[in-house]
Chains A and B, each alone.
Chain A
Amino acid sequence: MIELQNIDMIFGMGTPDENHVLNDLSLKVNKGDFITIIGSNGAGKSTLFNVISGKYSPTSGRVIFQEGDVTSQPEYKRARYIGRIFQDPLLGTAGNMRLEDNMVITMKKGFKGLKISLNHQLREKFRDELIPLDMNLENRLSDNVGTLSGGQRQALTLLMTVLSQPEILLLDEHTAALDPKNAAKVLELTCHFIEKYQLTAMMVTHNMQQAIDYGNRLLMLDKGQVIFDVSGEEKKKLTVDLLVKKFHEIKKGNFLYDEALLS
């Protein structure tokens, strides 16, 4: 479905602040995959998403989407098949506009015309879609989104993104800024939607237990490389302890190598 070939991402190339964030990273995402991604701060998780979504174009390497090279395609064009949800719940909705207006404009991807789509029938449809969120949003269609809570906004963003039928869903720690109760709720909804619409998804998380519990494949990122890629039965057997052990094993290998170099 989406393939990254030998991606290098270097910020500030040629300056003293040069930062090699992604290092010859290659990755193939298959249709129907639900991948969880873990890694320490600065491992390149967000940059990976920025390269996939087209916010950054990589220093070298290629991004392939369904056999087409999209490396130079701008972000707004890629957004037609990539849905991305950010950590900040404010980034997915327009707080100065009513809930129904938000839903109307995100319902379909692409340029909008001089048509008034919002009508009684569509409002009914929105209500039906909002009821399963179980947040009482179905009665607040004409309220400004700015009056909703962070959890409500993130759930709404999730619903709006899913309704626009993306081919792939990028979840960038989308529950990290929410309180535990809302975080659990949004995560549960996420899984529900991924299953219901058979979505391909990638989810960055800081919570190892979450990374193990959800999805069919787990990636561990470190220093801009995928150091651990596990899926299927093997992933099901993972525990947090095993994961930490694995991480140290791989890191230790590197440490030994570094030490060997120094001595």
Chain B
Amino acid sequence: MIEGILVEGLIYGIMALGVFITFRILDFPDLSVDGTFPLGAAVMASTLTAGLPPLLCLLLAFAAGAAAGMLTALIHNTLKVPGLLAGILTMTMLWSINIRVLGGRANLPLMRVETMLTRFVHGWGSALSQPAALLLFCFVVVLIVKLIMDFFFHTDLGLTLGALGFNEQMVIAMGIDPRALKYIALGLANGLVAVSGAFAAQYQGFADVNLGQGIIVSGLAMVMLGEFILRSNKIGWLTTRVILGSIAYRAIMYAGRYYGYYINLTPNDLKLITGILIIIALAVTKLQDKKSAARKGKAKK
């Protein structure tokens, strides 16, 4: 069970990193994630089934997610509609596209196809137990993603993105078109979400068009849980805590699934739990803000 929590936490952690980019860094509530997660899964599954090399499949999944994210940015930038609506439009359209990517059906099994996971697990099969090899693989993948992201947000471009969510006027003052930055950030975020979907499909052994339903809310819950775990303004810690939040969220969901029946909870109640979790997180944050504001007020006097 503990391996399951960690592996899922790591895989979904990549998705949470994408959500972190849009919601926290860009301050853009991007709901395309509900569509790009299954898109990544669908692209991965169908290209793997077609016999393409796994790494290429993963790149294609990333590219597809990035393109979808840029579509959201395009709708938002050119039609000047709120980001929320732009994301919902992309998400809705992707549902149909995902079915097409899956070859006209809602579900594509990967049981008989060699995936990145099975390949790695078999390769290390002699040295490590299967769950341990799986865990090692996911850990390495997430570590690589995290380090690339940390590097990116240290570059001049990454720092500019950091300024965009907080102060768009400042970005304009730098002589940069904020619209161009939104393409980059939404593309990057949804690319990561699609990669997460690609690994989720390989882990579960199938791609399903409904894989992404409500994923954005769980991603948000992961980001918020992470914010309780530690406080920092360094990007390295910010990305670490997103992944920790993801693992914590998975643990709570496991607990709900396995022990919930003691209090008459069914797996159908998990979405309710997720929602309540976010509401609690929001309420606690609000309380803390009030407290620190009161403390500041006192200090001034």
B residues near A161, Cβ cutoff 8 Å: 173
A28 at interface by CB-CB < 8 Å: no
Q: Contact: B162 with A109, CB < 8 Å?
A: no
Q: Which residues of B contact A104 (CB under 8 A)?
A: 156, 159
Interface residue? B257 (CB, 8 A): no
The answer to whether B163 and A105 have CB atoms under 8 Å apart is yes
Contact A105 B156 (CB under 8 A): yes
> With a CB–CB cut-off of 8 A, which chain A residues contact B163?
94, 97, 102, 105
Contacts of A91 in B (CB 8 A): 167, 169-170
Could you give, for residues 75-92 of chain A, a 1 whenever the CB lies within 8 Å of some chain B CB and a 0 otherwise? 111011001101000111
* B176 interface residue per 8 A CB criterion: yes
| Contact, CB under 8 Å: A76 / B156 | no
Q: Using C-beta atoms within 8 Å of the partner chain, give the interface range for chain B.
A: 20 to 34
A76 contact from B152, B159, B165, B172, Cβ within 8 A: B172
**Minimum CB–CB distance for B155 against chain A, Å:** 5
Nearest CB in chain A to that of B151: its residue: A116
Q: Which of A97, A106, A118 meets B173, CB within 8 Å?
A: A106
- What residue of chain A has the Cβ atom nearest to residue B152's Cβ? A114
Q: Complex: how many Å from CA A226 to CA B159?
A: 41
CB-CB under 8 A for A76 and B176, given A113-B155, A116-B155: yes
Report if B233 contacts A (CB, 8 A). yes
- Is A180 interfacial (CB 8 A cutoff)? no
In the complex, which range does the number of interface residues on chain A fall in?
A: 35 or more
Is B180 close to A, CB under 8 A?
yes
Please report the C-alpha to C-alpha distance between residue A112 and residue B161 in the assembled complex, in whole angstroms. 10
Give the distance in Å from the alpha carbon of A111 to the alpha carbon of B179 in the complex.
12
A144 at the interface (CB under 8 A from B): yes
Q: Are B233 and A96 in contact (CB under 8 A)?
A: yes
Cα separation A116 to B178 with both chains bound (whole Å):
20
Docked CA distance A76–B170 (Å): 10
Contact B174 A79 (CB under 8 A): yes
CA–CA, A144 to B163, complex, Å? Answer: 12
* A57 adjacent to chain B (CB < 8 Å): no
The answer to whether B177 and A101 touch across the interface, beta carbons within 8 angstroms, is no
Does residue A115 face the partner (Cβ distance < 8 Å to B)? yes
- A98→B233 contact, CB < 8 A: yes
- B residues in contact with A75, CB < 8 Å: 172
Contact A116 B174 (CB under 8 A): no
**Inter-subunit contact B175/A110 (CB<8 Å):** yes
For this complex, 16 residue pairs linking A to B, each with C-beta atoms less than 8 Å apart, are A74-B177, A76-B176, A80-B175, A86-B169, A91-B169, A94-B162, A94-B163, A102-B163, A105-B160, A106-B173, A111-B176, A112-B160, A114-B152, A114-B158, A115-B155, A116-B156
User: What is the interface of chain A, defined by CB distance below 8 A to chain B?
Assistant: 74-77, 79-80, 83-84, 86, 90-98, 101-102, 104-106, 109-118, 144, 161, 164
Closest 10 CB pairs of A and B: A112-B156, A109-B175, A80-B175, A94-B163, A112-B157, A79-B175, A94-B166, A76-B172, A114-B155, A96-B166
With A96-B162, A113-B155 known, 20 other A-B pairs at CB within 8 A are A76-B175, A79-B172, A79-B173, A79-B174, A79-B175, A83-B173, A92-B170, A92-B173, A104-B159, A105-B159, A105-B163, A106-B173, A109-B174, A109-B175, A110-B174, A111-B157, A114-B152, A116-B155, A161-B173, A164-B174
